[in-house]
Structure 1
Amino acid sequence: MARHTARDVRSENRFEVLHALFDLGPSSRQELARHTGLSQATVTTLVGGFLAEGVLDVAAVERNAVGRPYERLTINPDRGRVVGVDVAETYVDATVYDLALGVLGRHEAALDEHQNDQAYVVDGIVAAIEAALDAGGTDRDRIVGVGVSMPGHVHHDAGVSVFAPNWNWHDVHIEELLAERLRLPVYVDNPLKAAILSEMWFGAGRAVDSLAVVNIGTGAGAGIAIEGTLVRGITNNAGEWGHTLLMMDGRPCHCGRHGCVEAYVGAPGLETTLAEIDPAHPALGQPGQRDLVASVAAGLAAGDPVLRELVRRTGRYLAAALGDLVNLLNVPVVTLTGWLPGMLAPWLVPAVRDELPRHVLPGSLPGLTVEVSEVPGNAVGLGMAAFTLEQFLARLGLVSEARTRPRPGAEAAQPIG
């Protein structure tokens, strides 16, 4: 295991201070020290670096009844702009944020789910980003970085889409292609990593240190945090829960296997289940996946008995797959995110909760909650914006790698040398 240098520790600590400001809002150095577990002397030194680079501002100077006045610090939103982009098989969603991750402009555009040409996808991403910049009235020279989430296995250090099964992409240098078109710093990662980071910073993870975020759309996957640390795996491929086995010799999956979770709970799997129940159902005649799921939601609201059976079966599939995830990780919270749960949550979540006790071991069931994510806006886009902020601070020499939560005794725990 590589040893941490003094610079590594300082870099991680700097990011903890910034994260604390997102948690707390305008804060004194003392409050930041208490929240992060760092010494006040360390916080004072780190804050000095942020102030020198214009990343922090003094929001107010306050005075106690006794003692010296103290400064209340805040993130400077005008230090720059970051763009977070969620790319899926059916859409591109681009959002422009200030440096405090406040939304300035957003644009979502459809992608033809039957096209997987690299040039087509890159054109769609660039067009969505430009439209979001226009929507927010943002000049390109204010942008300090663009974070783009790509489906499938992404090598984030190299900016390569290693394998996107629903597009049949292999080793596409997507970061390089986008950087050439945008002429801006680009960072590429996987939506599961972005979703868990945003959940830890702005959602259920503010109350717990271990949880899973299950993202469902065309495909399915799980972002994982254990004891405050984002789980990437050796090759950044952790969380491919959608490609774990639900049914032996089951439905074919785009990854090449049969019986994967994704083939039953993703949008194409939902369509297959409905065709098994009622091959002539009118919802099956929709032109795209989102149209299909919107039609299912409308039918459920109207009390369609066929669609109630569809949700019952899909709830069983999802509960069984979530049971395996919980039994493996023993996390207390699972949140659901993505456009499919967003449309079907009023019916799908109760179906899952009813079925889940049949699949979770007694030792992991007490206190377990399954809920729709409450992260505002697009959780993947927000997570990519946070990663991009990390990259910007790294270029300033202020951080190394993001952590979702500070470690107790972080200063003493790491060897320095």
Structure 2
Amino acid sequence: MARHTVRDVRSENRFEVLHALFDLGPSSRQELARHTGLSLATVTTLAGEFLAEGVLRIAAVERNAVGRPYERLTINPDRGRIVGVDVAETYVDATVYDLALDVLGRHEAALDEDQNDQVYVVDGIVGAIEAALKASGTGREGIVGVGVSMPGHVQHDSGVSVFAPNWDWHDVHIEELLAERLRLPVYVDNPLKAAILSEMWFGVGRVVDSMAVVNIGTGAGAGIALEGTLIRGMTNNAGEWGHTLLVLDGRPCRCGRRGCVEAYVGAPGLETTLAEIDPSHPALGRLGQRDFVEAVAVGLAAGDPVLRELVRRTGRCLAAALGDLVNLLNVPKVTLTGWLPTALAEWLVPAVRDELPHHVLPGSLPGLTVGVSEVPGNAVSLGMATFTLERFLTRLGLAGTARTRPQPGAEAAQTIG
């Protein structure tokens, strides 16, 4: 195991200060010291480094009734622009952020889920990024980096899409392809890692430091944080919970196995379940997965009994799979994210909460909560922007690893049991 050096500790302390500013907004050095638990001298030194690089600026100078005036520091939003991109099998969502990670512009473009050609996918990503830049009024000269989430197994340190099952991609050097087209610094990673990072910085990670973020769309997977550390695994493949076994010798999965979780809770899995319940249901036969899920949401709102049975069965499968995840990790928070649970949250979340206690061991049930993510906007795009911010600070010599600590605050979701 690598030794934890003084440089490592200093880098982590820098991110504690930056993370505190995202939590608190404009703050004095004394407030940052109290929030982070660092000494005032350490905070003063680190803040000076950020100020020297233009990452922070002085928001205001205030004066107490007695004593010297003090400065309130804030992240300098105009130090640069970051693009966060969520690439899925059916769409590309590109968002432009300032350095304070506030949204400046966004564009979503559809991808044909039956097209897997590399040129087609790269064209779609580049086109969405260019449209988002235009929507935000951002020129290329102001961009400090582009973070792109790719589905499947991604090696973030080499920029390679190792395996994307829906496209049948193997060892595609996607970071290199995008950097050549964009002529900008590009960082690629997996959506599960992006989703958990955004939750650590801007979601339930503000009150707990161990959690699972379950991302569901075409497929399913889990981002995991334990004691403030994002879990990647040996090859960045940790979190492939969607390819754990739910039904022995069950439905075929696009990974090549049978009975995987995502074959029952992903959008194609819901279509299969509905066809089993009512093969002639009008929600079937839609052109795309998102159109199908939107039709399901409309039907549920109208009280369609067949679709309510669909949600009951899906909720039961999802709860059983989440029960295994909780029993394995003993996390107190499970957050659902992605376009599918967002569209069906009103019906799916209660179904999961009702069923989950039947699948979680008594020792892991107290205090367990499940709910839809409250991270604003696209959590994957925001997570990729946060990763890209880390990379930019690394280039400035302000490296670090994002962490989170428990903070006082209201519970983010309803307690189970």
Normalising by structure 2, we get a TM-score of: 0.96
Select the structure with the greater relative contact order (CA < 8 A; seq sep ≥ 6). Answer: 1
The more displaced of 397-406 and 114-123 is 397-406
Letter in 1 for 2:224: I
Inter-CA distance 302–406: structure 2 relative to 1 (3 Å threshold): closer
Q: Which residue of 2 aligns with 1:124?
A: 124
**Structure 1 residue ranges (4+ consecutive) displaced by more than 6 angstroms after TM superposition:** none
Cα distance in 1 for residues equivalent to 2:131 and 2:206: 32
Give 1:9-408 correspondences, 5 Å limit. 9-405=9-405
Aligned residue pair count: 407
Letter in 1 for 2:76: N
Cα distance in 2 for residues equivalent to 1:76 and 1:400: 19
Letter in 1 for 2:167: W
Cα distance in 2 for residues equivalent to 1:83 and 1:312: 38
Contact 2:96 2:132 in 1 (8 A): yes
Q: Which residue of 1 aligns with 2:414?
A: none
Q: Which residue of 1 aligns with 2:6?
A: 6
Cα distance in 1 for residues equivalent to 2:405 and 2:89: 31
- The superposition leaves residues 237-266 of structure 1 with CA deviations (integer Å, 9 ceiling, x where unpaired) of 111100110000111111111110010000
- The superposition leaves residues 353-382 of structure 1 with CA deviations (integer Å, 9 ceiling, x where unpaired) of 111111111111122111011100000000
Give the 3-state SS of the residue equivalent to 2:284 in structure 1: helix
Cα distance in 1 for residues equivalent to 2:259 and 2:32: 48
Contact 2:207 2:405 in 1 (8 A): no
Give the 3-state SS of the residue equivalent to 1:59 in structure 2: strand
Query: Percent sequence identity over matched residues?
Result: 87
The alpha carbon displacement at 1:392 in A equals 0.4
Contact 1:81 1:96 in 2 (8 A): yes
Give the 3-state SS of the residue equivalent to 1:353 in structure 2: helix
Contact 2:166 2:254 in 1 (8 A): yes
Q: Which residue of 1 aligns with 2:411?
A: none
Contact 1:230 1:404 in 2 (8 A): no
CA-based RMSD:
1.2
Contact 1:212 1:225 in 2 (8 A): yes
Return 5+ residue gaps in structure 2 as ranges.
408-417
The alpha carbon displacement at 1:402 in A equals 2.6
The alpha carbon displacement at 1:400 in A equals 3.1
The alpha carbon displacement at 1:405 in A equals 4.0
Contact 2:207 2:406 in 1 (8 A): no
- The superposition leaves residues 321-374 of structure 1 with CA deviations (integer Å, 9 ceiling, x where unpaired) of 000011111111111100000111111111111111111111111221110111
Cα distance in 2 for residues equivalent to 1:77 and 1:339: 29
Return 5+ residue gaps in structure 1 as ranges.
408-417
Give the 3-state SS of the residue equivalent to 1:285 in structure 2: coil
Contact 2:332 2:367 in 1 (8 A): yes
Letter in 2 for 1:219: G
Normalising by structure 1, we get a TM-score of: 0.96
- The superposition leaves residues 134-174 of structure 1 with CA deviations (integer Å, 9 ceiling, x where unpaired) of 00011110000000000111100101111111211111110
